[in-house]
Structure 1
Amino acid sequence: MPDDPLRPPEDLARRQATVAATLVDEWVRCGVRHAVICPGSRSTPLALALAARPEIQVAVRLDERSAAFSALGVGLAGVGPAVLLTTSGTAATEVHAAVVEAHQAGVPLLVVSADRPPELQRVGAPQTVEQAGLYGASVRFAVTLDAADPGLFASWRSFASRLVLEARCHPSGPGPVHLNLAFREPLVGEPGCLPPGRPGGGPWHRALASRSAQAVDGQAVLAALGLEDGWVPGVVVAGEGSGPPTEVVALAEALGWPLLADARSGCRRPGRAVVGAADGILRHPGAREALRPRAVLRLGQPWLSKALGAFLDELDPGVPQVVLDRDWAWRDPSRRAVLVGSGDPTGWVWALAEALEARAPDPRSAPDPTWLERWRRAERAAQGVVDEHLRAGGPPTVAQVTRLALRCLPPEATVLCSASLPVRGVEWYGPVRPDPPRVLANRGANGIDGVVSTARGLAMTGRAVVALVGDLAFLHDLTAWLEPARWPAASRNDQVEDRLALTVVVLDNGGGGIFSHLAQAEVLPVDRFEALFATPQRQQVREVCAGLGVPLVEVGELAELPDALSGDRERGPRVVRVVMPPADQERAILGALHEQIGAAVEAALGPAPAGA
């Protein structure tokens, strides 16, 4: 007798296979196009169902932690959540770091862990841990279900569809969700008739997300900034997620305020208001005094820059600071905001532009051009010094490598920075250019964990990806290079991993160079600092690449970097190792560079105007 699509099959293996196929079919209807599978027995029904669908690009990763960050990279690319599938037990615990990053960075991720059924829980069954609620508050939505439960048969499409919507459209913004799904043996079966989906192939549920311009009252923001009764000198600080770059630049120009643009904002492009060297400018007391604003509009994620952070924190409490962000993440570590807003970034920018245009003509509202010109002089001076450093030659520094890489990469490239010295180098020294490549980083939790795996996930979506990482971040994620030898020759995924357009640039200074920029390097004895923080490595990037069979290009002189980056990126993942000076030597070089920037900025600004 043929299966009834409205009733679950009687045979257990067939029923579980049908449930798995239904979930996957609904995810395809919801637009899911990528899955990362970790080998395991208990997850067999879902692994088979995912591999059976030609619409889904499947990658098999041997290490769960690496797999999780690869799936995170797919979501970071902006193509929607990837399915991450693990088996039961400690396999599910291995992905927690990526879940935390996805949670704090607002990246959609669909985590599916296979589990033992209830009768095997808490009786010493192997590979059994408490997986319900495993990720705590780090997920937007979590549910534990029994794939064999016949009473759930009519609900599987709803569960699958809701998981995708929770990952994409949650009121707290996009993020990870967790489906913990119990399977019983036997685990291999042929699916029967699937319960019917929506006519026309659409998803079971749709969502209307109210995260638009209605969430932002432009006039209220202007009033909070003190602009209701006239113009005041202020600054716009733009981080990742600030809104459409062209419109953000235009808004700053309409305000008559400088736009302090992080490279990750996409706003570091030519414009009368754009300031890309804010970190270098604001390291120096004279510049901070001369450029002190009377209002601050902060868009998107905060910068990493301690100099900019201190500049904002040192402002008088009466100086209003307004924080507008995509999610209700309350990104205000110093707790100085007088107004916090959330919603669609495009919505805020449009609402503010309309509010400015709607103001009645009033001479008091006209920007004072001398305010913006002061910032422009400082920007020209600082950028000129960094350009001179780029031309100076010698052993490559993080300033030279990050500036040159962002200058010579094509606009269609995606740059992923390790959340250590590389992301700071890009923030401090990244150039202003009309068509910048997209710059990303795992800045949710600011860890170096899984950065190469994240880059692989980004490249899975068809992008040409250049990852800038330190040698510690590279060594921390070596399992990113482990993968099955080949898919079957007839598979649609045959050699997908070999075709990834991925270049991993390793800034190799032989240890934790980021710590040499922190206070520990100043106050600890050299031997103690070296042992606990600088951590020089016995393992060398060259030998590791040789052992793993990873193609390697070595760069000893800065002039060699453009050719190394312009190599054939379509031939599969490769490493470009840039030989850096020892961390203490580079720190001295960069310290001298910052002193030169300070002197040039102070000369360009001259004495601070009275009353500034």
Structure 2
Amino acid sequence: MSVSSFNRRWAAVILEALTRHGVRHVCIAPGSRSTPLTLAAAENRAFIHHTHFDERGLGHLALGLAKVSQAPVAVIVTSGTAVANLYPALIEAGLTGEKLILLTADRPPELIDCGANQAIRQPGIFASHPSQSIALPRPTQDIPASWLVSTIDHALGSLHSGALHINCPFAEPLYGELDDTGVEWQQTLGNWWRSDKPWLRAQTHLDSAKQRDWFFWRQKRGVVLAGRMTAAEGKLVAEWAQTLGWPLIGDVLSQTGQPLPCADLWLSNAKAVTELSQAQIVVQLGSSLTGKRVLQWQTTCEPEEYWLVDPLEGRLDPAHHRGRRLVSNIDDWLDAHPAEKRQPWAMDIPTLSRQAWELTSQQCESFGEAELAHRIRQYLPEQGQLFVGNSLVVRLIDALAKLPSGYPVYSNRGASGIDGLISTAAGVQRASAKSTLAIVGDLSALYDLNALALLRQVSAPFVLIVVNNNGGQIFSLLPTPQSERERFYLMPQNVQFEHAAAMFSLKYRRPQSWAELDEAMSRAWKQPGATLIELVVNDSDGAQKLQNLLAQVSHL
């Protein structure tokens, strides 16, 4: 019996089982112990293969692929700390709902806790963060193939969101020519190999029931709070709220077109908060809100009913309102709860929103970070998509911009970390094949600098704007101690990214005016490949501009 051949056949069953659940993208990092999984994936024609040398970036690449494809994405890594590097992407997927299947190769049990090289305790390594975990045994013909495939089917069939961790121990030898070992074991699955259906079909339906009293509540004064959703859902939500005559507070990830822009500014105004207090019901569609003032209002509002609709399970409401937690795709929920045409009831808020937008436009003319956020719409590629980084950049766009209705916007706003942002954006581009604009800060770019290697393989124009404000200027918005702020919070690195772009053979531009940025963006959208555009701005100007606008809008 050839151990290496049976390892391959065992792995082939695992990979083939994944195809029956919609897995098309497989992300692979180099490694020896993962050889059976890697070769099985390479031989399976159903897969699109992606490779990267950095497992942390690989996990985020898979996350971006899953965001766009809305299908599970598989990741293959070798044993040891390679596994641990998947943790950040796994955590993010658990909070935002993307399905990741982490296939982690492992040493067999006799090599654990005995000083063997690259052997760590991998089962349970991710604690409670995976939605499900499977610790497979060492491959053996004593276990029927039907057990292996049905185990995977059951886990995937009941995976509503988040990650599935499958730990796969393999004994040596790992290499060798494939012989007939295990052929009969595989053939016990019969015509399953020629079908495209799972061996075991698990049905799990989590949708909440239709709210029978909706006809009553839709006649009341309501507010729609729009969080993260798809572009198509964003358009539907905007139309739904307009028909009801309810004010819509749209997050940067809502893709609703933000009919009342600058919500994070005008919610600082007492007149707006007073008017919103008249609402009898708040319907929040989608989670992951960004704006600080939006979150403060969401925390303190006290309507008669607070409904939160999101396809993810869990409470998703840090304010713990009295109301209803409704698990449903947003478009399906809207179909079941149609709007009734009514006149708008809020009068002050549209005026305040318009005044805040006009004030922002008047004061966002110089060349800087806040100004870029305000005018970001004019740099979006036609029929393309936007990926927004975390920390200050997403807050500025959320507060100061007005994005087009139904224009795809992506971000990592689950754990809101700065790790893996460029890798995730690369995955978003690969899954869609669309022109992509990504915006991150300088520390975020440094944190994921390896991912510039992934941008060498983009299939359409890709622009990465690195806003270089020399450090974590998000902390300029927080009451961090002035004496320790620079050394322990901002951490300025005093770097520029021209050499990084050159190292990975990316086009590079550093515009110093709007005219130069306009020209650089125009040229980038006409050329295939990736362009890194570095926007060097004064350190704290963006945070200061936001603070100044907040003060002015609060007194309108």
The answer as to whether partners of 2:63 and 2:424 remain within 8 angstroms in 1 is yes
Give yes or no for the alignment of 1:377 onto 2:377.
no
Partner of 1:512: 472
Identity percentage of aligned residues: 27
How far is the alpha carbon of 1:278 from its aligned partner? 1.2
The one-letter code matched in structure 2 to 1:372 is A
> What secondary structure does 1:382 align onto?
helix
Give the Cα separation in 2 of the matches to 1:580 and 1:205.
56
The answer as to whether partners of 1:276 and 1:379 remain within 8 angstroms in 2 is yes
Partner of 2:396: 425
Partner of 2:113: 122
Give the Cα separation in 2 of the matches to 1:449 and 1:477.
6
The answer as to whether partners of 1:107 and 1:176 remain within 8 angstroms in 2 is yes
The answer as to whether partners of 1:62 and 1:482 remain within 8 angstroms in 2 is no
Residues 186-585 of structure 1 mapped to structure 2, 5 A cutoff: 186-189=173-176, 190=178, 192=180, 193=183, 194-195=186-187, 196-198=190-192, 199-212=194-207, 215-220=208-213, 227=217, 231-241=219-229, 244-268=233-257, 274-294=259-279, 295-315=281-301, 317=302, 319-353=304-338, 367=342, 369=344, 371-390=345-364, 392=365, 394-398=366-370, 400-434=371-405, 436-461=406-431, 462-482=433-453, 497=457, 499=459, 501-520=461-480, 524-525=481-482, 527-568=483-524, 571-583=528-540, 585=541
- Seen in structure 2, the aligned counterparts of structure 1 residues 286 and 438 have a Cα distance that, compared at 3 Å, is same
> What secondary structure does 1:531 align onto?
helix
The answer as to whether partners of 2:29 and 2:53 remain within 8 angstroms in 1 is yes
The answer as to whether partners of 2:474 and 2:543 remain within 8 angstroms in 1 is no
Give the Cα separation in 2 of the matches to 1:588 and 1:13.
62
Give the Cα separation in 1 of the matches to 2:303 and 2:399.
29
> What secondary structure does 2:337 align onto?
helix
How far is the alpha carbon of 1:321 from its aligned partner? 2.0
Q: So what's the TM-score if we normalise by structure 2?
A: 0.90
Give the Cα separation in 2 of the matches to 1:500 and 1:535.
35
Partner of 1:490: none
Give the Cα separation in 2 of the matches to 1:387 and 1:53.
54
How far is the alpha carbon of 1:160 from its aligned partner? 4.1
Partner of 1:62: 53
How far is the alpha carbon of 1:304 from its aligned partner? 1.6
Give the Cα separation in 2 of the matches to 1:57 and 1:498.
14
Give the Cα separation in 2 of the matches to 1:268 and 1:329.
27
Partner of 2:93: 102
> What secondary structure does 1:566 align onto?
helix
The one-letter code matched in structure 2 to 1:309 is L
How far is the alpha carbon of 1:471 from its aligned partner? 0.4
> What secondary structure does 1:21 align onto?
helix
- Seen in structure 2, the aligned counterparts of structure 1 residues 568 and 540 have a Cα distance that, compared at 3 Å, is closer
How far is the alpha carbon of 1:181 from its aligned partner? 0.4
- Seen in structure 2, the aligned counterparts of structure 1 residues 587 and 265 have a Cα distance that, compared at 3 Å, is closer
The answer as to whether partners of 1:411 and 1:437 remain within 8 angstroms in 2 is no
How far is the alpha carbon of 1:459 from its aligned partner? 1.9
- Seen in structure 2, the aligned counterparts of structure 1 residues 459 and 594 have a Cα distance that, compared at 3 Å, is same
The answer as to whether partners of 1:110 and 1:163 remain within 8 angstroms in 2 is no
Give the Cα separation in 2 of the matches to 1:418 and 1:111.
24
> What secondary structure does 2:351 align onto?
helix
The answer as to whether partners of 1:251 and 1:352 remain within 8 angstroms in 2 is no
How far is the alpha carbon of 1:103 from its aligned partner? 0.7
> What secondary structure does 1:298 align onto?
strand
How far is the alpha carbon of 1:15 from its aligned partner? 0.9
Partner of 2:166: 179
Give the Cα separation in 2 of the matches to 1:547 and 1:244.
40
> What secondary structure does 1:303 align onto?
coil
- Seen in structure 2, the aligned counterparts of structure 1 residues 550 and 348 have a Cα distance that, compared at 3 Å, is same
> What secondary structure does 1:201 align onto?
coil
- Seen in structure 2, the aligned counterparts of structure 1 residues 165 and 386 have a Cα distance that, compared at 3 Å, is farther
What is the aligned counterpart of 1:82 among 73, 86, 111? 73
Give the Cα separation in 2 of the matches to 1:379 and 1:473.
31
Give the Cα separation in 2 of the matches to 1:287 and 1:375.
6
Root mean square deviation, CA, Å: 2.5
Deviations 1:30-87 (CA, angstroms, capped at 9, x unpaired):
3322111111110011111212234322222111111111111111112412211111
- Seen in structure 2, the aligned counterparts of structure 1 residues 158 and 412 have a Cα distance that, compared at 3 Å, is farther
Bigger mean CA deviation after superposition, 411-420 or 241-250: 241-250
Structure 2 unmatched runs, 5+: none
The answer as to whether partners of 1:65 and 1:94 remain within 8 angstroms in 2 is yes
- Seen in structure 2, the aligned counterparts of structure 1 residues 30 and 432 have a Cα distance that, compared at 3 Å, is closer
The answer as to whether partners of 2:41 and 2:47 remain within 8 angstroms in 1 is yes
The answer as to whether partners of 2:233 and 2:330 remain within 8 angstroms in 1 is yes
How far is the alpha carbon of 1:401 from its aligned partner? 1.4
The one-letter code matched in structure 2 to 1:88 is S
- Seen in structure 2, the aligned counterparts of structure 1 residues 377 and 538 have a Cα distance that, compared at 3 Å, is closer
- Seen in structure 2, the aligned counterparts of structure 1 residues 239 and 197 have a Cα distance that, compared at 3 Å, is farther
Give the Cα separation in 2 of the matches to 1:31 and 1:582.
46
The answer as to whether partners of 2:64 and 2:423 remain within 8 angstroms in 1 is yes
> What secondary structure does 2:410 align onto?
strand
Q: So what's the TM-score if we normalise by structure 1?
A: 0.83
Partner of 1:487: none
- Seen in structure 2, the aligned counterparts of structure 1 residues 291 and 144 have a Cα distance that, compared at 3 Å, is closer
- Seen in structure 2, the aligned counterparts of structure 1 residues 560 and 220 have a Cα distance that, compared at 3 Å, is farther
How far is the alpha carbon of 1:208 from its aligned partner? 3.8
> What secondary structure does 2:36 align onto?
helix
How far is the alpha carbon of 1:482 from its aligned partner? 4.3
How far is the alpha carbon of 1:102 from its aligned partner? 0.8
Give the Cα separation in 2 of the matches to 1:538 and 1:378.
40
- Seen in structure 2, the aligned counterparts of structure 1 residues 401 and 154 have a Cα distance that, compared at 3 Å, is same
The answer as to whether partners of 1:216 and 1:347 remain within 8 angstroms in 2 is no
Give the Cα separation in 2 of the matches to 1:222 and 1:293.
19
The answer as to whether partners of 1:405 and 1:562 remain within 8 angstroms in 2 is no
- Seen in structure 2, the aligned counterparts of structure 1 residues 507 and 455 have a Cα distance that, compared at 3 Å, is same
How far is the alpha carbon of 1:441 from its aligned partner? 0.9
